[in-house]
A and B are shown apart, each in its own frame.
Chain A
Amino acid sequence: MKKAIWVVVFLGILFVGDRFIGYIFQQQITKSQFRYSRMYRGEGQADILIVGNSRGLNFYQPSVEKATGLTTFSLCYYSMPCEIATVLAKDYLDRYPKVKTVLVETTIVEMSDDKLLPGFTTYMPYSERIDSVLRLKTKETWNYANFSHIYRFNNEVFQRAMYYRNKLDNDWYFDHTITQDLIDQAPHRSVEFKTPDSHVQDLKQLADYCKARNINLQFVIAPIFPTYTVKKLDVFKQKIEAATGITVHDYSKAILDYSSFTDYLHANLKGGAEIVDTMVKDGVLPRAPQTAVSSR
């Protein structure tokens, strides 16, 4: 009998401890300076919203703000899965409807990182949309995350949020220059961006959502190293344009200077600033009225 009581006590402590520790972690997430925490906390108001994976990080917020004179908020994340990116964008727009422009780096369409997707269990309590995506796409993880609240924080996203607990996450940019070795190999290497139907549909839903709210949505393709081959890029663009009815601005070959790249798919800080300037000139990114006047 005494042993049975200890077993019950143990299970009770295990459960209560799990919920209590989960609660403490959630409090820390809420207070974090990480981008998604700020967004869900209500501190993410900006004029321009950037959505993308690591290629979206080419559009470095301070560079965009300098070139446009407008406040900017980035939802980009390394290997960001498309289904989560579009959900985060909608959550953002629900909370901050006064956004002037949403800029989407469209190669996100090909991303579905099964390893990263479960990482967003950390933000499950803040978003019904994230909850339903995870329930649909990673049912097992979703079950575990409901069974154990500590498990919700067993991921890279939580660790990053803790890293940025007390400092802003505006140090996400590529500061290296591509190595000579990679430059030499570039002509022999290639990539083909895939367009899974479900992800194209995610983009279409985001486009419809923005149209319904009169929000300016811009689709772009960020720069790619000049001698690196991208196969069937036209097909990629056409498929997205046909599904969403929005033009895809192709900047894949807009930068020719090798020193503006970190690797084949990522411009560095210098290249990022160059492309942002080009996008402002092209009108893809808006310009603040006073900036527009002063630049004349």
Chain B
Amino acid sequence: MVFNSITFLIFSVVFFPIYFATKGKLRLWWILLASYVFYGSWDWRFLGIIMLSTFMDFNFGKLIGATENKARRRTYLILSMIMNLGFLGFFKYFNFFIDSFVSLMHTFGLNPGLSTLQILLPVGISFYTFQSLSYTIDIYRREIPVERDMLKFAAFIALFPQLVAGPIVRARDLLPQMETDKKFDWDNFNSGLGRVLWGFFKKVAIADSLAPFVDQCWADPSKFSSSHLLVGVIFYSFQIYCDFSGYSDIAIGLARIMGYRFVENFKTPYFSQSFSEFWTRWHISLSSWLRDYLYIPLGGNRHGKFGTYKNNMITMLLGGLWHGANLAFIFWGFLHGVYLIIQRITTPIWRKFVQLVRMPAFINSAICMIIVYTLTVIAWIYFRSGSMGHRSFSVANTIIGRITSFEEFSWYTVLNKYQVLKGILLLVIMLAVEITNQRMSWNVTQLRRPALRIALFASVLWLIALFGTFGSNSFIYFQF
């Protein structure tokens, strides 16, 4: 059941009145039941994994909390990690590692005779695994108390708005909010609904409108001119942004209507002036998870220059691998690791240069933004190719090769100009709203004025009616 479907509309119409009509345990049961129905609609067999993962982590949490013995605490944590990462490893990476191992053996002239399995990837496993894992780690670190209520813990893990594609909401943020029954609140409803509508606009009007143009470019890049492909890769950078941040907006908005506050997942990331800033503005819940549970435990920037480079690289490589079992995703992570390292090396030199030539601040900002955006787009080319199996690198390299050749580089060789003009128009609308939102906080302050709220809601709905694609297209991040 995807958010952009009639089924979900019916689901919401049933869910919310009962949610607000119930209290205490009954409400938690209702959240759990509804969330399992939501999740089971993909494939009911996946429910077994999430139930097992929930049950085990709940009990590992209790076991860790019940003892002061350091070795035992560590053992229970390791068992929790083995279980969670084991599920993830088996369902997501088993075939990838078998394939890679067989290829490696072939290079040495050996034939190990191993074969891959027909494994279905449970939707959202990467998200709820990390969410559940952060709970046991936080208990081990004594940062949060043990949750004694199994029902509440299960409802926290399964809470449907964030279940399949995040944001990765941590126990320390959400469990305390579930202590009290949230009453229906008009302010929450209005700001939540505003967020949901904006998320829908980004998904069905922008991301799904850009998708056909982008898909065409990746299907056979050799057929298109350099300018056409350049438009295609720029469109992809916005397609993935609108698709994923649109999902996050809907999730955050739905949670807001329920009375919960989720962490923000995106903050206009393409306006970042450095890669370290980019990672505080793009998929924030994942990057902060990797920072807190991987980068800092590895030593962060506490072990000298080369130690920091190494930790940056390991974090980004694993961040790439988290997205999918393909070398192209790992290479995407590698590129971001390289970017971060180069940034650390070049920043002091750049600053001196800026001072020396007395470069105005806005020019400096613009140059940094353009560089960060361009390099991010290059990395996206590999990322987009990651789902194309063995062709991923050749497709990505063909696209980059053709764009940089500047062959037939002109507006005339850009095909489907109607799609391009429509895409540009929608991106201008989206950027105008998101940039002004930073100053005016549409969702917090402006929406309290009824007249303005009505005008904004109606405008977004009209825009969705005019530009939306209503094919219940799946969200890109469901595959991760």
Contact = CB atoms under 8 A, between A and B. Distances in A.
B176 interface: no
B212 to A, nearest CB: 9
Interface stretch (B50-58, B307-315, B463-471): B463-471
A159 B458 contact: no
A160 interface: yes
B454 A156 contact: no
B16 to A, nearest CB: 15
Interface in B399-455: 418-419, 421-422, 450, 454
A144 B458 contact: no
Nearest to A160: B418
Central interface residue in B457, B461, B466, by most chain A CB within 10 Å: B466
A17 B458 contact: yes
A150 B450 contact: no
Among B454, B465, B470, chain A packs the most CB atoms within 10 A around the CB of B465
Given A3-B186, A154-B466, A154-B468, A14 B418 contact: no
A145 B239 CA distance: 26
Contacts of A148: 465
Given A151-B466, A154-B466, A154-B468, A14 B186 contact: no
B462 interface: yes
A13 interface: yes
Interface string A147-158: 010110110100
A10 B457 contact: yes
A21 B418 contact: no
B454 A150 contact: no
A153 B464 CA distance: 11
A172 interface: no
Instruction: Report whether over half of chain A's contact residues are helix, strand or loop; otherwise say mixed.
Output: helix
Contacts of A181: 222
Contacts of A208: none
Contact of A14 (B421, B461, B470): B461
Interface in A140-186: 144, 148, 150-151, 153-154, 156, 159-160, 163, 181
A3 B193 CA distance: 15
Contacts of B458: 10, 13-14, 17
Interface in B193-241: 222
Contacts of A150: 462, 465-466
A159 B466 contact: no
Contacts of B418: 156, 159-160, 163
A153 B419 CA distance: 14
A274 interface: no
A154 B465 CA distance: 7
- Chain B interface mostly helix, strand, loop or mixed? helix
Contacts, number: 39
Nearest to A2: B450
Contacts of B466: 21, 150-151, 153-154
Interface string A8-31: 011001100110010000000000
B185 to A, nearest CB: 12
A151 B463 CA distance: 9
Nearest to A175: B412
A171 to B, nearest CB: 12
Contacts of B186: 3
B465 A6 contact: no
Nearest to A14: B458
Interface in A14-55: 14, 17-18, 21
A159 B422 contact: yes
A72 B422 CA distance: 31
B183 to A, nearest CB: 15
Nearest to B418: A159
B427 to A, nearest CB: 16
A127 B187 CA distance: 46
A144 B465 CA distance: 9
B454 A151 contact: no
Contact of A13 (B421, B454, B465): B454
B467 A21 contact: no
Contacts of B421: 159, 163
A154 B426 CA distance: 13
B470 A144 contact: yes
Given A156-B418, A159-B422, A151 B457 contact: no
A10 B453 CA distance: 9
Contacts of A163: 418, 421
A160 B416 CA distance: 11
B457 to A, nearest CB: 7
A10 B419 CA distance: 32
Of B222, B462, B467, most buried by chain A (CB within 10 Å of CB) is B462
A168 B222 CA distance: 33
Contacts of B465: 18, 148, 150-151, 154
A9 B422 contact: no
Contacts of B461: 14
Contacts of B419: 156
Interface string B233-267: 00000000000000000000000000000000000
Task: In the A-B complex, list the 4 residue pairs whose CB atoms are closest, starting with the nearest.
Answer: A150-B465, A159-B418, A148-B465, A10-B454
Interface of A: 3, 6, 9-10, 13-14, 17-18, 21, 144, 148, 150-151, 153-154, 156, 159-160, 163, 181
8 contacts: A10-B454, A13-B458, A18-B462, A150-B462, A151-B466, A154-B465, A154-B468, A181-B222
Interface of B: 186, 222, 418-419, 421-422, 450, 454, 457-458, 461-462, 465-468, 470
Given A14-B461, A17-B462, A18-B465, 4 more contacts: A10-B458, A144-B470, A150-B465, A151-B465
